[in-house]
Structure 1
Amino acid sequence: MLKMLLDPMGGIVLTNDGHAILREIEVAHPAAKSMIELSRTQDEEVGDGTTTVIILAGEMLAQALPQLERNIHPVVIISAYKRALADALEIIQDISVPVDVNDDKQMYSLISASIGTKFVSRWSDLMCSLALQAVRTVTHDIGGGKKEVDIKRYARVEKIPGGEIEDSRVLDGVMLNKDITHPKMRRRIEHPRIVLLDCTLEYKKGESQTNIEISKEEDWNRILQIEEEQVKAMCDAIIAVKPDLVITEKGVSGTVHPGTNDESIRQHY
């Protein structure tokens, strides 16, 4: 059953995931913070069982309370929990069974056990296929017959408004959800030549660092012309390498002054 939450910013969250609910809660008690941190760690390391781990931890704390009331030192209680942990790990080793990660049927069975409690359980087959395909896409060998799967760095879930859940798919590459800035821009580019920039594509604004004295109207026009020349010089430098796609992490000038060639340059992309 889905729960509806209202976050402090006024947003509405519909979920039945324990971690999604706990991370919206603001608490000050150290023990409560530790429980929320425990749920976050479970979600990052395993991806499922966040509610179970909270219930289990709460029950362990409840069992420790009578021992504290009997004046048993917390160190003694913790040492008993550590012994229980060692015993549990031995039992897990005995009852565990090997898993063939190349067996799709066996992997679907494991993934569906996690997805079955989520909202997307009605699309279980599709979600199992997407999850398995995404993990295999980001899997790489690290030597010694070992493989590493870092889904936090290399796998992202991008949500796009519209469409149906059945339209979901795995993209083997980088997705940039951006709109075109000119109708003549190409909608499809195969094998693009990409330029990555860490600098701004704007003219440098003097603002408070520059003093300008204007005595006639032509001086103001010259100031605008200098701005245009800086933008055009940057565009010419980019066009010189003939890129199909330009990506910058800084700002991009959207100003087009009358008479500038910036608009024709923008049509180039």
Structure 2
Amino acid sequence: MIRPQAAPVVVLRQNTKREQGRKAQLANIQAGMTIADIVRTTLGPKSMLKMLLDPIGGIVMTNDGNAILREVDVAHPAAKSMIELSRSQDEEVGDGTTSVVVLAGEMLAVAEPFLERNMHPTIIVAGYIQALDDTLKLLGEIATPIDASDDKRLTEIVHTCIDTKFPARWGNMIIGCSRLPSA
């Protein structure tokens, strides 16, 4: 005997809303943008500290976006994805955790009007892929080759990279150490 296919049974918490379609897409965008907005103010020369209450009741003040997102407790799946994006960036690169979340939030914000105009998500993604291709082509055209034996130029590059992480006096020490011969 062949049984008719029954609808899947989904077990959710009592106060859980289930959304689908455009409404769910827009809700996901809003959740992602909210996470980006949390850390956006920690960027730049006028960055602000956030005061966080840790699980044991201590107060932590930081402008480190990754530290802030580690302490945020969210239930929304898209918001969790944004936090996971920050963690992945930290594990793979070790820097840029706040920037990648803010950039992703901006990409979501740009996609929102297209969704509201009933554009299919695959068309929006194709636009992002085309923008990536165009960007890589442009960067290839404006890139400047670097001579690895040019200590002055390498020092400038390293300075640019670490100036946001260390005060000037520590940056100079680190750059000085980087010129030591490797063992």
Q: CA deviation at 1:117?
A: 2.1
Q: Tell me what 2:129 maps to.
A: 82
Gaps of 5+ in 2: 1-46
Higher strand share: 1
- Alignment match, 1:105: 152
Task: State the secondary structure of the residue aligned to 1:100.
Answer: coil
Structure-2 separation of matches of 1:118 and 1:4: 20
Distance change in 2, residues 1:32/1:110 (3 Å) = farther
Going from structure 1 to structure 2, the CA distance change for 1:46 and 1:69 (only over 3 Å counts) comes to same
Preserved contact between residue 120 and residue 127 of structure 1 (Cα < 8 Å): no
Q: Distance in 2 between matches of 1:35 and 1:44?
A: 14
* Residues in 1 aligned to 2:150 and 2:67: alpha-carbon distance in whole angstroms: 31
Give structure 1 stretches of 5+ with no counterpart: 138-171, 173-269
- Equivalent runs, 1:193-212 vs 2, <5 Å: none
TM-score by length of 1: 0.43
Alpha carbons 1:15, 1:119 under 8 Å: kept: no
Contact 1:19/1:39, CA 8 A, preserved across alignment: yes
1:92 maps onto 2:167 in alignment? no
Structure-2 change in CA distance of 1:52 and 1:121 (3 Å): farther
**Could you say which residue in structure 1 is the equivalent of 2:77?**
30
Match of 2:52 in 1: 5
SS at match of 2:71: coil
Q: Please tell me the root mean square deviation across aligned C-alpha atoms, in Å.
A: 2.9
Question: Normalized against structure 2, the TM-score is what?
Answer: 0.60
Match of 1:224? none
User: Matched residue of 2:52: which SS?
Assistant: strand
Alignment partners' CA distance in 2, 1:101 and 1:26: 45
Paired residue type of 2:131 = A
| Change over 3 Å in CA distance of 1:121–1:51 after alignment to 2 | farther
* Structure ranking higher on relative contact order (CA contacts 8 Å, 6+ apart): 2
- Residue 20 of structure 1 deviates from its aligned partner by 2.6
SS at match of 1:23: helix
CA change 1:50–1:83 in 2 (3 A) is: same
Say which one has the larger Rg.
Answer: 1
Change in 2 beyond 3 A, CA 1:102/1:23: farther
1:56 to partner: Cα distance: 1.7
Residue 118 of structure 1: aligned partner: 165
Letter in 2 for 1:64: A
Q: Which amino acid aligns with 1:49?
A: G
Q: CA deviation at 1:119?
A: 4.9
Q: Which residue of the partner structure matches residue 104 of structure 2?
A: 57
Structure whose residues are more often helix by fraction = 2
